[in-house]
Structure 1
Amino acid sequence: MAFFHSEADMKHPSGYALIRRHLRRYPHALRQHLLQELNRLVTCEPVIGIMGKTGVGKSSLCNALFRSEICAVNAVEACTRQPQRVRLRFGQHYLTLVDLPGVGESVTRDGEYRELYQRMLPEMDLVLWVLKADDRAFAVEEQFYQDVFAQFRGPVPPVLWVLNQVDKTEPAEQWCWLSAQPSALQAEHIARKQQVVARQLGIAEQNILPVSVRGRYRLSRLVEAMITRLPKQARSPLVPHLQNGYRTTSIISTASSSFGDAVVEVIDKVIDLAPLPQVARSALQAVTHTVARAARSLWGFFFG
């Protein structure tokens, strides 16, 4: 369903009417093209891959982040050995989560999964690779990451490594459930674990995010990282799907600013491709940032 309606439908003031008003100087055909492109921005559907071994808490993590229930958490066996696509809807916005089967089950299955992951990588905007904080080694993940990502030909989606269940970090009995914080000794061990994982996988330490769903620890930091790593056009459509506590002023500010930037890029692209005299092209480019400011101010109308 298109968000932008015909001018006949604009008898009452709305965000769409205001956008049209700012585009009134554009030739009709160009204005329609712009509205179509803006509509694509508003209706963009982010695709996030969820990777990791069975039992690392992928489903629990997703259920903690997003408003919709993702899939039943099963501690005995994997939910599925096939990619499970979950299409979430909130209002007019959609989000697709691709829950990929866990690595490390067997050599045969890992070989199948490598091909599967490589085939699916190009369609993803972001990958959350979930690790279990109390695992002692990550040789399987290291090999898999090198085989799938490092050797992939083409653009690779950004990866956030989620060090999950850090409340189990020794000494686990020292976790403070009331303040949702690790003890000083646990915090030291968590930091050391981040360093070990970064060194073993050959990745930047800031890409490893320690969290605990059960301990309500640093999930907001993970959401902030997701928003900044997603492509500009995918940031705002993610926000409506987040649990209430993660739709913070900072998250909304980043998303709305990115939406305005994406609008500028769309307008510049459409103007560059249009067969216009240079004078007309310059005149339209001069009002581009006015339209972008309007888009930012109307962010809540589209995504709130």
Structure 2
Amino acid sequence: MGRVAPAQVRRITCVGAGVIGGGWVAYFLAHGYAVTAWDPGPDAESRLRHLVEAAWPALSEIGLADGASPDNLAVAPDLASAVDGTDFVQESAPEDLDLKIRLLGDIDAVTAPEIVVSSSTSGYGMSEMQVACAHPERTVVAHPFNPPYLIPLVEVVGGKATDPEVVEWTSEFFEHAGKAVITMDREVPGFVANRLQEALWREALHMVAHGEATVEQIDRAITEGPGLRWASQGPMLTFHLAGGQGGMTHMLDHFGPSLLSPWTRLDAPELTPRLRSDVVAGCEAEAQGRSIDDLVAERDHSLIAILRALGRA
């Protein structure tokens, strides 16, 4: 039997039912899938059903798929029965590499070889985790963000032994399931969003440690400032617009020397001609033909909507 098309997935197995695994269960249920969960922990079923019940009002508010119901959740007594007849497996065990290796090997051993096995890991690469699998070609990372039932982003990336078609299938599945997908070109420690969060987190800790800012000042600096802009256009397009009509080209040429200023404790990369060209070209590609004026109008419209939603305008 071959692998079903991404849009034909009907039954999903979630292995691990903690905060992330339970969040996945709630998300998949809300999108009309039948979900079978397995977690060896004590009281796992009661904790999982409580999490789904707590998440359901928010999911109902943003809209449920036809037929979506918590009643479509089954909790299996063992791993083999959990994956029996499944179309897709999402693993969300704790972040322990040895545990991940053993568990993925166990899942691989009892799951039909055509079924994609995806991990929610937030730090390990699939190349590290797939080493005990007899069919590592069908293992892939789909890294979500908490809570998975509300935050759209999922980062998809394979390991050294992963079939590229599996990466493509997984990205298509999550897009069909309503997620905003970044299909990564290669494995990067910490993935994309975590790397960016970590840089901000480390600088924030440095500022507190040196008495340069309080916790409240740091949080307000983001929620009342760049965080509002990032919600609609992200840091790269934000700097693209900071260059005025000259866009990122002017931004890099004008502010590039400040990369060497001691503003952060992070080492700045050298602004080589290639890096400059890649960043400029990336902004032009993301703009998709929209002018600076177009992007400014879109940004302002989004900022007004965000401020109104937060009760600040």
* Shared fold, TM over 0.5: no
TM-score normalised over the length of structure 2: 0.33
Between 1 and 2, higher relative CO (CA 8 Å, sep ≥ 6) is seen in: 1
TM-score normalised over the length of structure 1: 0.33
